[in-house]
Structure 1
Amino acid sequence: MKCGICELEDSKYKCPRCSVQYCSMLCYKSKSHKHHTIENHDKKSAIDLITARNATDETKSVLHDSRLAKLLKEPTLRFHLKVIYELLNHPQLTNETSAEARREIANKKLVNLRRRGSEENKLVEDFCAHVLESVNR
């Protein structure tokens, strides 16, 4: 896999904060390596976003789960969930790509973030596993 910063060299490392793959300390410390922060208007919790839509009883039980609430306080998890959300709703993709294709792109990103994926992130895996457990109760 190529470096996610310079896109020239093969990646050897993964940033612990944002999970971008990088090749060297030069890339890691470069101005191009930005840890995307969630802007104030994006700080609405996932619970608020989902509740705003017509939540089912099944969804509501997940929304009030204290373990999920704790996980959703983690900036890294929020960042990755925001990326997936943007893949599903990005205006350019929305205009040029079918809903099914956007879901496929977002799903590939999620698979890469889960266990044994190229961008494996424990918080994402824990979140997904816990949501699935909650829904299947």
Structure 2
Amino acid sequence: MTSAAAPIWLYDGVCVLCSGGVRYTLRHERGHDIRFVAIQSREGRALAQAHGIDPDEPDSFLFIENGRALAKSDGVLALTCRLNGPARLLLLGRVLPKRWRDWLYDRIARNRYRLFGQKASCEMPDPATRHRFTLPESP
């Protein structure tokens, strides 16, 4: 189902914070190879369920890299390692114990719609990047 060559970011497509993170990533990523999959899509629902995330009530995004699915703060750190720009400051979080990082992640995730807003539907990517918003077909 997933390509070993390209990392995959499974994100909440109606979350304003998550969608903003996708736009930021498109502008600041180093390798320009990350695939973006909204959890609301057919592929996204399947990925979420395969990794123990309820696609109707997601409590985390996933960053899948080298066959490993990383959730919560581990996913944020793995994604951030692939970026340039001010988001790299998040890498300072590596000095914190995982349970503290995940505690903070959980507080933001649980309140993301209230703090940042929610859209009625997933936004459509622009034509230049649309090919990166679907998973490649399995052989």
TM-score (norm 2): 0.29
Higher strand share: 2
The structure, 1 or 2, with the larger RCO (C-alpha pairs under 8 Å, 6+ apart) is 2
Higher helix share: 1
Structure whose CA Rg is larger: 1
